[in-house]
Amino acid sequence: MQYEIKGAPMPVVECVLEQGESIKCEGGSMSWMTANMKMQTNGGGIGKMFSKALSGEKLFQNTYTAEGGRGLIAFASTFPGNIIAVEIAPGKDLICQKSAYLASTTGVELSIFFHRKLGAGFFGGEGFIMQRLSGSGIAFLELDGSVETKMLQAGEQIIVDTGYLAMMDATCSMDIKSVGGVKNMLVGGEGLFNTVVTGPGKVVLQTMPASKLLGQIAMNTSK
């Protein structure tokens, strides 16, 4: 498979598949394709569909296969930001925000990720239910705004406001931390809790979380 990511601030990834090659995505993610791309829809058991609903995934996935020669298929962003390609390999799982997954080669497995500490979910925003990418292959992820990457050493920490954590290596751990101080909590404007990510591993941050932007738009329109 060959691919090209282009366009801004609403990017698209175009994938060229050789005959017999396949790519999968959530239902409704395909933007355009050549006529020889054939689709097959899969769900996968009640238990798996329930976990998909919890993690924010669509209930069904579509697999597109090039038949009778080369085929092209495109997946466009649904929000201003970036599409990035990540390499998934055995033992190198990635943890992503619920809305990150766009498409992948068929060897990549998408599953639900529950944080071990409930507090990280109820107070840390994206921490409780996220997506885990495992297996082997290439995945395309949709991130909000611009992207900043941090490499954390073992035990090194970074404090992130809710929603700005887009992706991290599965070797990282995540928890929540109180802002501290009654005055800081009530009038500081930063909320009650922050997300704390501890290395080792790569952390990818996004500059314009959709939840923040939509909240700001709602606030402005209500004035």
Judged by average pLDDT, the poorest of 44-58, 91-105, 190-204, 208-222 is 44-58
Task: Give the N- to C-terminal CA distance of the chain in Å, as an integer.
Answer: 50
Query: Amino acid identity, residue 53?
Result: A
Does residue 128 have a pLDDT over 80? no
**Dist CA 180 CA 217 (whole Å):** 29
Q: What is the DSSP letter of 207?
A: S
Give the pair of three-digit tokens for residue 195.
């997300």
Using pLDDT thresholds of 50, 70 and 90, give the confidence band for residue 192. Answer: low
The stretch 172-183 carries a mean pLDDT of 72
Q: Is the pTM of this model over 0.85?
A: no
Domain count for the chain, please give it: 1
Give the model's pLDDT for residue 57. Answer: 55
Range of the domain at 190: 2-221
Tell the burial category of 163 from Cβ atoms under 10 Å away from its Cβ (0-12, 13-18, 19+): buried
**CATH code at 88?**
3.60.160.10
